[in-house]
A and B are shown apart, each in its own frame.
Chain A
Amino acid sequence: LAKTTQPISMDSYEGQEVNITCSHNNIATNDYITWYQQFPSQGPRFIIQGYKTKVTNEVASLFIPADRKSSTLSLPRVSLSDTAVYYCLVGQSGTYKYIFGTGTRLKVLA
C-alpha cells in the first residue's frame, strides 16, 4: 500500500484557486489516486479519482504527471464552505484497503 505525503495545512482566501499536492513515490502500476473531503464529525466524501494525466469534474481537477509519483488536486475559486480536510489516497481498484495519511487541513478565509 502506497504511503502518501501531503502538506499538513493550507490557508487560502475566497475566490482563489487552491492546489494541494500529494506525494506517493511508491505507487503501484494498478493503483488509482483518489481524493476525499472530510468535514468535522462527518465521513469522508469522494471528490475525484484518476489514474494518469488530467481528470476534471464539476468540483475539482486532478493533475497526475507521467511518473505518477505525485498528484495535485485543484479547487477552483474556493469558498468558505470548502474549509475541510482533504485526503489523498492510493489503492488498487480491486483492493480498496485505504491507509489514510495526515490529510491537508484547508482553511478558506473571507
Chain B
Amino acid sequence: GAVVSQHPSRVICKSGTSVKIECRSLDFQATTMFWYRQFPKQSLMLMATSNEGSKATYEQGVEKDKFLINHASLTLSTLTVTSAHPEDSSFYICSAPGTYEQFFGPGTRLTVL
C-alpha cells in the first residue's frame, strides 16, 4: 500500500522554540494531507487540512498562527509548532488520502521542556 513518512520521529525542544515536522507521501501524490494530534490515552484529534498550493484549513479551536502548515509540493506538507510550550507536547500524526482510505504516517513525538 501507499506509504507516508514523517520526520523526525521524535523531537525534544526547549520552551519558546519552534519545531518543524515533515510529512511526505513516498510513492503517490497528495494534494490534501491531514494533521492530527493525539494526547496519551486519547483519540486522534484533527487539527487541520493541508492543501497543496493554498492555505490550510484549521479545525475550530486550533490556533493557525501557532501551528503553521505549508503544503509546498504534492508530496510534502510541514507542520511548524511556533513558540512551543509544554502543553504542546503530544504525538502528531499526518495522513494522506488514497482512493478510499487514508494512509497515516508513523507519528512524531514532540516533547517540550
The chain A residues found within 8 Å of chain B, CB to CB, are 32, 34, 36, 41-46, 49, 87, 93, 96-103
Contacts and interface: CB of A to CB of B under 8 A. Distances in A.
B44 A93 contact: no
Contacts of B109: 41
Contacts of A100: 36, 43-46
Given A41-B109, A97-B49, A102 B43 contact: yes
A9 to B, nearest CB: 11
Contact of B101 (A46, A99, A102): A46
Nearest to A45: B104
A67 to B, nearest CB: 21
Given A32-B100, A43-B104, A43-B107, A103 B95 contact: no
Given A49-B100, A96-B32, A96-B34, A44 B44 contact: yes
Nearest to B105: A43
Interface secondary structure of B, over-half rule: strand
A17 B46 CA distance: 32
A66 to B, nearest CB: 21
Name the 9 nearest CB pairs between A and B, nearest first: A43-B104, A96-B97, A100-B44, A100-B43, A44-B104, A43-B93, A43-B107, A43-B106, A46-B101
B103 interface: yes
A43 B105 CA distance: 6
Given A43-B95, A102-B43, A97 B34 contact: yes
Interface string B20-47: 0000000000001010100000011110
B58 interface: no
A71 to B, nearest CB: 15
A98 B96 CA distance: 11
A52 B53 CA distance: 36
Contacts of A43: 4, 6, 93, 95, 104-107
B99 interface: yes
B43 A46 contact: no
A60 B67 CA distance: 37
